[in-house]
Structure 1
Amino acid sequence: MSFNIRYGKAKDGENHWEKRKLLVAQTIQAFSPDLLGTQETLGFQKQFLEGKLPEYASIGIGRQDGGQQGEMTAIFYRSDRFERLDEGHFWLSETPEVVGSKSWDSSLPRMCSWVKLRDRRSDGPAILFVNTHFDHRGPDARKESARLLGEKISDLGEGCRCVLTGDFNAGAGSQPHQILFAESSPDNSGGITLVDTFAAAHPDATDAEATFSGFRPNVTKGARIDWIAVTPDWTIESAEIDRTEYDGRTPSDHYPITATLRFTDDGSADAGGSETSRDN
């Protein structure tokens, strides 16, 4: 699951974090993902979800100072299923190891968090799980961030099965999307092939794929700016946009998106789906 949970200090009136935080937790619990990437997550929001989701371990640091300041691209994973092998963070800039850095026409520091996991149910390769949030204003920043991300996943994910989640602030078919997903694109310089799970599961694109709702229920028209991507060594069983509402209220201004995945060469394990879809 990938879920932009909306910046918790935003002045959203009836949609303020305190009035919808239980809806966020309930929506996550309903799908019960093995792997969860969140965006716009402040430290107190991460702590709230940790309390409501005790079966998950988490990582995340603030984009401003590498500590608690600023939004996190926080990751949650089931601690009973996965053993953490390594983790890290980098910034979407020309100096990705510099905390709080930004480049190109980015309006704010943007970052990426990742964790390398061993699946206790499989003897197969480790899983590299990557979560990010691209800039909302800078088209050059989104384009260059896509290139950097491809390079980083290629490097970090050597020998791994990879899963990427994020809010990319760009629709399907945009230049960042082409850089990440078009196998024959000269811009795909990262050296790794990624598959857009939703596009693979729904090959006939429509204009009803919006993932940003602005807190309005049942919004369908608009760009699909939230993506889950995988390397080709996963079988994509399903990929959906979760438009759950609660008496006309949505848990965030983005819809969470989901994918149920199975190891292509190992039918004994799957990830990303609900409890009912797992092999036990």
Structure 2
Amino acid sequence: MHRFLYLLLAAIGLAPAVNAQPPKGDVRVMSFNIRYGTAKDGENHWDKRKEFLADTVKAFGPDLLGTQETLIFQRDFLSQKLTGYEGLGVGREDGKEKGETTALYWRKARFEKTDGGHFWLSETPNVAGSKSWDSSLPRMATWVKLKDLAKPNAKPVLFVNTHFDHIGKKARIEGAKLIRDRIGALGAGCSVVVTGDFNSGEDSEPYRTLFAARDKNESPVMDSFRAAHPKREPNEGTFTNFKAGPVKGDRIDWIGVSRDWTVTGAGIDRTEKDGRTPSDHFPVTATLSR
């Protein structure tokens, strides 16, 4: 089905349940802060937008989906709605069911999980619920290693999803260092994809820490959006506060990819219905080939 028609049908709740497969070889990635489902958001409450949100994901049809602010019942809702996907995510408070997750999902027809786990953005990253520096809350990352079933002889994919603290400036910088170091350790011999809400703009120290060269060594990942759109534009903000249309401000949601990927497309998905968006963040997307 043509993408424009699918988006139109999704907006009115008539999108088909089965997604068209992307061209063989391409990998479609989406990062989506879905806004935690117990927030007192009135007309934008989770119960009033959850179907719209699921349809927005289906319309893009990601092979890899990273979500943030995902409570356990939201994780399970998406697992139910996104047929053909497998997911992984635990609560940040205890490594089990308590608190928000950084749940991620992958299309089972394309990828097979070979390993996976979690770590916390702290000085004790293997301790569930830990926090350090000036972080206001425990923050974490979830990761999986995936075999590419479309290209069985290709390198495996390391897929990492995270959510940086919204208050702690040092915590965001140290979190970026930790993500970068863990990518280097976990991602040896892998193609890498990193998704997340980084609560930081493109001119920030966390952005430079993750993407810029360090000690004359280039970063293991590059910013897929900027690779596809070298010229910065004024309306690249990704925090919407549920308002439709392009917004000014920082692009705080990123998809980082290793340099063995070719970025064939990247975007900010501004899907809306009746002037409302499915979350208070726009999802961001990237289409990759190798």
TM-score, scaled to structure 2: 0.88
Residue 111 of structure 1 corresponds to 140
Residue 101 of structure 2 corresponds to 72
Alignment partner of 1:9 is 2:22: no
Quote how far apart the aligned CAs of 1:208 are: 1.1
Residue 229 of structure 1 aligns to a residue whose secondary structure is strand
Quote how far apart the aligned CAs of 1:27 are: 0.3
Q: Distance in 2 between matches of 1:193 and 1:86?
A: 20
Structure 1 segments of 4+ aligned residues over 6 angstroms from their partners:
none
* Residue correspondence of structure 1 range 120-199 to structure 2 within 5 A: 120-122=149-151, 123-183=153-213, 185-186=214-215, 192-199=219-226
Q: Distance in 1 between matches of 2:128 and 2:219?
A: 26
Residue 277 of structure 2 corresponds to 250
More off after superposition, 129-138 vs 47-56: 47-56
Residue 162 of structure 1 aligns to a residue whose secondary structure is strand
Quote how far apart the aligned CAs of 1:207 are: 2.0
Q: Distance in 1 between matches of 2:276 and 2:51?
A: 12
Note if contact 1:153-1:192 (Cα within 8 Å) is conserved in structure 2.
Answer: no
Note if contact 2:211-2:219 (Cα within 8 Å) is conserved in structure 1.
Answer: no
* Residue correspondence of structure 1 range 13-24 to structure 2 within 5 A: 13-24=42-53
What 5-or-longer segments of structure 1 have no aligned partner?
264-280
* Residue correspondence of structure 1 range 213-252 to structure 2 within 5 A: 213-252=240-279
Residue 266 of structure 1 corresponds to none
Residue 192 of structure 2 aligns to a residue whose secondary structure is strand
Residue 237 of structure 2 aligns to a residue whose secondary structure is coil
Q: Distance in 2 between matches of 1:118 and 1:193?
A: 20
Q: Distance in 2 between matches of 1:96 and 1:124?
A: 30
Q: Distance in 2 between matches of 1:106 and 1:203?
A: 32
Task: Give the AA of the match of 1:182.
Answer: A
What 5-or-longer segments of structure 2 have no aligned partner?
1-29
Quote how far apart the aligned CAs of 1:194 are: 1.0
CA RMSD of aligned residues (A): 1.1
Note if contact 1:154-1:192 (Cα within 8 Å) is conserved in structure 2.
Answer: no
Alignment partner of 1:101 is 2:130: yes
Quote how far apart the aligned CAs of 1:192 are: 4.3
Report the identity percentage: 59
Per-residue CA deviations over 1:63-104 (Å, capped at 9, x if unaligned) read 001111000000010112111000000000000000000000
Note if contact 2:238-2:283 (Cα within 8 Å) is conserved in structure 1.
Answer: yes
Q: Distance in 2 between matches of 1:195 and 1:148?
A: 16
Q: Distance in 2 between matches of 1:49 and 1:79?
A: 15
Task: Give the AA of the match of 2:279.
Answer: S
Residue-pair matches, total: 260
Quote how far apart the aligned CAs of 1:206 are: 1.9
Task: Give the AA of the match of 2:119.
Answer: F
Residue 224 of structure 1 aligns to a residue whose secondary structure is coil
